[in-house]
Amino acid sequence: MGYWLEMSSGDMRSVVRLLTAVERTERQERTLARIRTECERTDARFREQDVDLDVSITRALDELIDGRPSTGLCPAYSYAFYQVVAAHFRDPTDLGTWRRPSSFHALDDELARYGVPSGLLPGTFLFSGPPVRLPHPGDAVPAIGTLPVQRAAELADAYDAVLDRIDPGFRSAAGRFAEVMRFEAREWESTRERGGRADTLLFWFH
């Protein structure tokens, strides 16, 4: 069994504005309708798989919008938040399948051994949590993490600098992180010149 890791980039401020709006604009209402449809589809898929989250993802979305979650422990809110993000961010980049969340600890230790700063270690930003308060999922998965997109180039430089020195068993994973971060850094610079507002990299481990 493995877990998927995905990454996407976008303007987190627009996500927070939708979740906290007292009166939503017509555009926000249309976006929310699309999000609710995706939540309903995920609920249907989970029902087919006999997965019971206690609170449906659709209900969790409504409770997040209202600012009144009915429980402090349920993964449905993480799934609902992810759908809100997905409606505002670029299509996700696949960062592969991992056996378990603890898989990143050994990679962290290896990168730290060669001087990569703690804030740029995968285990630090992958599981840092969402930028808004959500009920705890109750388990290690699904997990949400964020990293400011302006740090993407810094991360790519740090990993590239140690790639030929770390244990060969970690090079593929570290190289993949460096590759996608280098791409995100270029995209951020390019879109910023055109007035883009992307500010966050979101990681979704599920």
51-101: pLDDT as tens digits: 999 999 999 999 999 999 999 999 999 999 999 999 999 999 999 999 888
pLDDT by residue (tens digit) across 16-64? 999 999 999 999 999 999 999 999 999 999 999 999 999 999 999 999 9
How remote is the C-alpha of 21 from its chain's centroid? 22
- Quote the pTM value: 0.94
Phi, psi angles (nearest 5°) of residue 189: -65, -40
Is the pLDDT assigned to residue 4 strictly greater than 90? Answer: yes
Q: What is the DSSP string of 75-117?
A: THHHHHHHHHHHHHSPPPEEEEEES-TTHHHHHHHHHHHTT--
d(CA 11, CA 41): 24
Q: Which of these, 8, 143, 30, lies nearest to 89 by C-alpha position?
A: 8
